[in-house]
Amino acid sequence: MSVYILCLILFCIGLYCVLRKRNIIKIIIGLGIIEYAINLFFVLVGYRTHGRAPILAKDQVISNMVDPIPQALVLTSIVIGLAVTALLVAIAIRIYEKYGTFDITKIRRLRG
């Protein structure tokens, strides 16, 4: 149970980082933390203590195995996260070229 709570704490750290930090690079890092927290949670959902990979072979009895589907899904999710992070960093670099700052409170040319 404690691992799930740790996941939740990691998620909350990421959310805090996105909501409260003023530097846009730190916001991007916060998004990464959120994503890792969810990926970790997803893998833990399929984890079994002392489980092993569910590969079927002759003269082997598998009594306790890890659920492979969350692992496959998390791989996909990591790739998606990579794409989003790369795009965000690219945008952040262009923002720095235009505004000369990473401070989110000074990047305010759009009005409410």
Partner 1 sequence: MKILPFFVIIPLSAAFLISLLGKKIKNFGDIIANLGTLSLLILSLNSVQLANAHKILVYKMGNWVPPIGICMVLDGLTSFMLVTVNLVSFLVAIYSISYMERYTDKYRFYTLFMLLLAGMNGIIVTGDLFNLFVFLEIASIASYALVAFGTEAEELEASFKYAVMGSVASSFILLAIALLYSYTSTLNMADISLVLSQKGRGMLINLVAILFLAGFGLKAALVPFHAWLPDAHPSAPAPISAMLSGVFIKVLGVYALCRVFFNILGVSSAISFALIILSIISMVVGAFLAIAQQDIKRMFAYSSISQIGYIIFAFGIGSPLAILGGLFHLFNHAVFKSLLFLNSGAIEYSTGTRDLKKLGGLNSQLPVTGYTGLLGSMSISGIPPFGGFWSKLIIIIAAIQAGYFLSAGVAILVSIVTLAYYLKFQSHTFFGKLNETRLKVKEVPLAMSLSMIILAIICVIAGFLLIPIFRPFLQNAVNVLLLGKGYKDAVFGAIR
Two tokens at 20? 């409260």
Rg, Å, the chain Cα set: 20
Residue 2 C-beta: closest distance to partner 1, Å: 17
DSSP code for 109? -
Residue with Cβ nearer partner 1 (2 or 58): 2
Distance (Å, whole) CA 53 – CA 46 = 11
Site residues, partner 1 (CB under 8 A): 11, 15, 18, 24, 27, 31, 34-35, 38, 41-42, 45, 69-70, 73, 76-77, 80, 83-84, 87-88, 91-92, 94-95, 98-99, 107-110
